Structure 1
């Protein structure tokens, strides 16, 4: 069974050690982090969206994970049988832009024949 962990680090690098320890302790295969620290997002081994709002990392030596695609706030990777997607959307966008964002994700993922695991931070501030 594939184990995926989602965390929001609020741009801080401090929680990363704890997240890595937890992933090792719990045999987590893949970590998805929303609002990662900018320096952590740029590190080797992380697959990031185009603006650094969400990253995916393969923690498992028994799993082959390859980069598939990315857009702003959305990154997709795949194993031989599963699509792994991470998403982040700011709470400060309009409802119209939020709907466009969800539509773009739907267009990307609806073409997939593999099963999909999608995790993310889908903020929406209706103010």
Structure 2
């Protein structure tokens, strides 16, 4: 099954979240990884992490894939979409490299990916000097 994916950081903006849905409809996007969502509504079209920092959403139209085998933690959420594992991750660029390494260790420990599954990872972090981002 071919799916179209989109990643967006909407900076907790209600208007940006509305535009995300408009873009998903216009571009025929099946699943979006949303960093810093305005809110994560209840329902089958949304799954979010434990802290409200990152979420996955799908269009509520016929033929859109459902989320299965959802795994969520602090700053990450993963779900199977058909035979593809989609993983959304958010980590603040204001935290240390040591914090990042601990965080990745936790995410990889909970990774539901198994042999034979394809996975799509999205690390939604705007950048950090410690990770090689340019200084201002």
Report the Cα distance in structure 2 between the residues aligned to 1:86 and 1:118, rounded to whole angstroms. 6
Aligned length: 125
Q: Which SS does the other structure have where 2:88 is aligned?
A: strand
1:89 maps to: 91
Q: Which SS does the other structure have where 1:41 is aligned?
A: coil
How is 1:1-127 mapped onto 2 (pairs within 5 angstroms)?
Answer: 1-37=2-38, 40-44=39-43, 45-59=45-59, 61-62=62-63, 63-109=65-111, 111-113=113-115, 114-122=117-125, 123-126=127-130
Report the Cα distance in structure 1 between the residues aligned to 2:7 and 2:71, rounded to whole angstroms. 19
Cα 1:101–1:34, aligned 2, differ >3 Å: closer, same or farther?
same
Report the Cα distance in structure 2 between the residues aligned to 1:100 and 1:85, rounded to whole angstroms. 17
- Kindly report the root-mean-square deviation, in angstroms, between the aligned alpha carbons of the 2 structures: 1.9
Q: Does 88-97 or 62-71 show the bigger shift?
A: 62-71
Q: Which SS does the other structure have where 1:117 is aligned?
A: strand
Cα distance, 1:19 vs structure 2: 1.0
Gaps of 5+ in 2: none
Normalising by structure 1, we get a TM-score of: 0.86
Superposed CA offset, 1:12-31 (max 9, x none) = 11111211111111110101
Q: Which SS does the other structure have where 1:27 is aligned?
A: coil
Cα distance, 1:5 vs structure 2: 0.6
Kept in 2, the 8 Å contact 1:34–1:120? The answer is no
Gaps of 5+ in 1: none
Normalising by structure 2, we get a TM-score of: 0.81
Kept in 1, the 8 Å contact 2:71–2:112? The answer is no
